[in-house]
């Protein structure tokens, strides 16, 4: 077993007391008994449910100890580390994990592209040394401390995703991580319902720079909406401000990007060094995400050329544009699963990617983009223009918001509309033909994964 936390180190870090036993070793940290691995320290967080209800299950699954606040309820089950507040205890573990490694820490936020850039950057850095990263989109008030608390002492690099739904959420996260490099990927009207304006979103994202170490570097998306506000904030906080983008003034500049069926070829100038590289993943969004990842890898002390080489082996991420060919009874079609997330920026990027695919017909099945506030109907209807530019042949739509788009479309483009993804799925499956490419996309809450499942079931066994 690889020791991550010794009982006494965890106790000192969390300012807690040990009961039941004082010499356990934890190999990992877990907040969820469904994914807990034997040897993990189980953290009994109070979130949607109270983790104290799951302590018995955690020990049954092989937990080495539990971090708890209610000693009475916990002690019968196994060794515990008792603290006043479990989330605060987890944060303290995170701080201690941060301070005991020399790892360079990179923090990533933005309206789109956090997970994509995090995964690409982690792949880039892994070519230079042991790299720790956030799991999935664990980017909130418990996800970030959990990721820190899980960082092995032997890490050379740590990559942290940071997200927000409301104003004020990024500051405590970046203050905890104290990154050496901080990236804002892009600004778009995601969560605008809570934030009010694009400027407020940019200000919130820009807070990530406030936690930078004194010699830290800020990566700013040069051509993003309200980029000037990000730049101003970066200049206040960072000792180096790096603009990444396509414009001539950028210190990290994309020079060329050509998409193909199985990936892309790109050229960039990264802080004065020109490189040509291949990306093993498909999608227009990799153009700037890859430049941000390579620049951050370089700034964190990684080998730039090894990083670029690693991108060739990088592949699409599940639910974020990964494509698969499905052989059905009527012929073969390509399914592009982008059902995990959607906002106007990622929709436009996905349509552009679709345009680059070879296809008999280009079909999209779109679900609502959520949390877009008062302009929601207009933002949905405005997708008509990028759909047109991408030469999309048929549009299926689900959900009350997507109705605004569907009504705007010429009858020749309308494939079908339904109130929900479940009701839309049979319409899409019935329409497919040999040689089609179908993109399925919507906010996670719009449940377009249901359409993906229905399409997957068309595979002839």
Ligand X SMILES: Nc1ncnc2c1ncn2[C@@H]1O[C@H](COP(=O)(O)OP(=O)(O)OP(=O)(O)O)[C@@H](O)[C@H]1O
Q: Which residues of the shown chain bind ligand X in the complex (CB under 6 A)?
A: 110, 112-116, 137, 139, 163, 185-186, 283, 285, 288-289, 320-321, 338, 341, 345-346, 349-350
Cβ contacts of 407 within 8 Å, gap of 6 or more = 381
CB of residue 436 to ligand X, shortest distance in Å: 20
Number of H helices, E strands in the chain: 18, 22
Residue 285 binding partner per list Mg ion, ligand X, none, with a CB distance cut-off of 5 to 8 Å that depends on partner kind: ligand X
Residue 338 binding partner per list Mg ion, ligand X, none, with a CB distance cut-off of 5 to 8 Å that depends on partner kind: ligand X
Contact flag: residue 137 with Mg ion (CB under 5 A) = yes
Residues touching Mg ion, count (CB under 5 A): 3
Sign of the dihedral defined by the CA atoms of residues 226, 227, 228, 234, in that order: positive
Residue 288 binding partner per list Mg ion, ligand X, none, with a CB distance cut-off of 5 to 8 Å that depends on partner kind: ligand X
- Scanning the structure block, which residue is given the tokens 């909406």? 225
Whose Cβ is closer to ligand X: residue 277's or residue 351's? Answer: 351
Asked if residue 255 lies in contact with residue 277, where contact means CB atoms within 8 angstroms, the answer is no
Sign of the dihedral defined by the CA atoms of residues 375, 391, 389, 245, in that order: positive
Please give the C-alpha separations between residue 87 and each of 45, 326, 421, in angstroms, as whole numbers: 6, 45, 36
Cβ contacts of 385 within 8 Å, gap of 6 or more = none
Q: Which of 105, 156, 154 is nearest to 134 (CA)?
A: 105
Coil, helix or strand at residue 423 = helix
Whose Cβ is closer to ligand X: residue 101's or residue 109's? Answer: 109
Whose Cβ is closer to ligand X: residue 52's or residue 447's? Answer: 447
Asked if residue 283 lies in contact with residue 350, where contact means CB atoms within 8 angstroms, the answer is yes
Whose Cβ is closer to ligand X: residue 103's or residue 288's? Answer: 288
Whose Cβ is closer to Mg ion: residue 418's or residue 448's? Answer: 448
CB of residue 252 to Mg ion, shortest distance in Å: 22
CB of residue 319 to ligand X, shortest distance in Å: 8
CB of residue 58 to ligand X, shortest distance in Å: 27
Asked if residue 335 lies in contact with residue 425, where contact means CB atoms within 8 angstroms, the answer is no
DSSP 231: H
CB of residue 114 to Mg ion, shortest distance in Å: 4
Pairing mode, strands 157-161 and 104-109:
parallel
Residue 68 binding partner per list ligand X, Mg ion, none, with a CB distance cut-off of 5 to 8 Å that depends on partner kind: none
Whose Cβ is closer to Mg ion: residue 39's or residue 283's? Answer: 283
Residue 112 binding partner per list ligand X, Mg ion, none, with a CB distance cut-off of 5 to 8 Å that depends on partner kind: ligand X
Beta bridge partners of 25: 6
* Phi, psi for residue 142 in degrees, rounded to 5: -105, -25
Residue 113 binding partner per list ligand X, Mg ion, none, with a CB distance cut-off of 5 to 8 Å that depends on partner kind: ligand X
Whose Cβ is closer to Mg ion: residue 299's or residue 317's? Answer: 317
Cβ contacts of 280 within 8 Å, gap of 6 or more = 262, 263, 311, 312, 313, 314, 315
Whose Cβ is closer to ligand X: residue 139's or residue 376's? Answer: 139
Whose Cβ is closer to Mg ion: residue 114's or residue 441's? Answer: 114
Whose Cβ is closer to ligand X: residue 140's or residue 429's? Answer: 140
Asked if residue 416 lies in contact with residue 315, where contact means CB atoms within 8 angstroms, the answer is no
x/- mask, Mg ion, residues 24-63, rule CB under 5 A, reads: ----------------------------------------
Q: Can you point out the beta strands (E) in 124-263?
A: 131-133, 157-161, 181-184, 217-221, 240-245, 252-259
Stretch that binds Mg ion, among 123-131, 135-143, 307-315, 352-360 (CB under 5 A): 135-143
CB of residue 385 to ligand X, shortest distance in Å: 16
Residue 66 binding partner per list ligand X, Mg ion, none, with a CB distance cut-off of 5 to 8 Å that depends on partner kind: none
How far is it, in rounded angstroms, from Cα 123 to Cα 370?
30
Among 114, 178, 205, 362, binds Mg ion (CB under 5 A): 114
**E strand or H helix that includes residue 363:** strand 362-366
Stretch that binds Mg ion, among 81-89, 109-117, 152-160, 272-280 (CB under 5 A): 109-117
Measured from each CB, the residue nearest to Mg ion is 137
* Residues at the contact surface with Mg ion, assessed by CB under 5 A: 114-115, 137
């Amino acid at each position: 077993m690889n020791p991550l936390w010794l009982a006494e180190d965890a106790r000192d870090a969390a300012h807690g007391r040990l009961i039941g036993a004082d010499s356990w070793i934890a190999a990992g940290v877990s907040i969820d008994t469904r994914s807990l691995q034997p040897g993990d320290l189980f953290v009994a967080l109070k979130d949607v449910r109270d983790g104290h209800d799951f302590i018995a299950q955690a020990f049954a699954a092989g937990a080495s100890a539990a971090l708890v606040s209610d000693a009475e309820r916990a002690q019968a089950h196994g060794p515990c580390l008792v603290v006043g507040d479990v989330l605060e205890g987890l944060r303290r573990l995170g701080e201690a994990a941060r301070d005991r490694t020399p790892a360079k820490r990179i923090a990533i936020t933005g309206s789109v592209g956090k997970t994509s850039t995090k995964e690409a950057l982690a792949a880039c850095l892994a070519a230079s040394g042991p790299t720790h990263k956030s799991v999935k989109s664990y980017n909130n008030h418990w996800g970030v401390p959990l990721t820190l608390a899980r960082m092995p002492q032997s890490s050379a690099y740590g990559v942290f995703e940071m997200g927000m739904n409301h104003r004020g959420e990024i500051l405590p996260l970046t203050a905890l991580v104290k990154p050496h490099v901080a990236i804002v990927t892009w600004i778009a009207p995601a969560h605008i319902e809570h934030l009010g304006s694009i400027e407020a979103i940019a200000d919130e994202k820009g807070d990530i720079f406030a936690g930078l170490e004194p010699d830290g570097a800020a990566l700013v998306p040069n051509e993003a909406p309200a980029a000037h506000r990000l730049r101003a904030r970066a200049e206040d906080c960072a000792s180096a401000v790096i603009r990444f983008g396509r414009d001539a003034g950028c210190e990290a500049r994309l020079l060329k990007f050509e998409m193909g069926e199985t990936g892309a070829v790109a050229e960039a100038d990264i802080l004065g060094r020109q490189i040509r590289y291949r990306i093993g993943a498909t999608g227009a969004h990799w153009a700037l995400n890859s430049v941000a990842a390579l620049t951050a890898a370089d700034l964190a002390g990684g080998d730039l050329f090894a990083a670029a080489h690693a991108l060739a082996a990088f592949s699409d991420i599940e639910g974020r544009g990964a494509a698969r060919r499905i052989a059905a009874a009527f012929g073969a079609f390509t399914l592009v699963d982008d059902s995990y997330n959607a906002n106007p920026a990622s929709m436009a990027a996905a349509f552009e990617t679709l345009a680059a695919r070879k296809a008999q017909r280009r079909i999209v099945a779109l679900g609502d983009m959520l949390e877009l506030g008062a302009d929601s109907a207009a933002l949905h209807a405005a997708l008509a223009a990028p759909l047109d530019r991408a030469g999309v042949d048929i549009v299926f739509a689900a959900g009350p918001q997507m109705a605004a788009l569907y009504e705007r479309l010429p009858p020749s483009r309308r494939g079908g509309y339904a109130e929900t993804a479940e009701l839309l799925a049979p319409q899409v499956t019935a329409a497919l033909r040999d040689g089609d490419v179908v993109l399925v996309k919507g906010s996670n809450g719009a449940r377009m994964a249901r359409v993906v499942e229905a399409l997957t079931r068309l595979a002839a066994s």
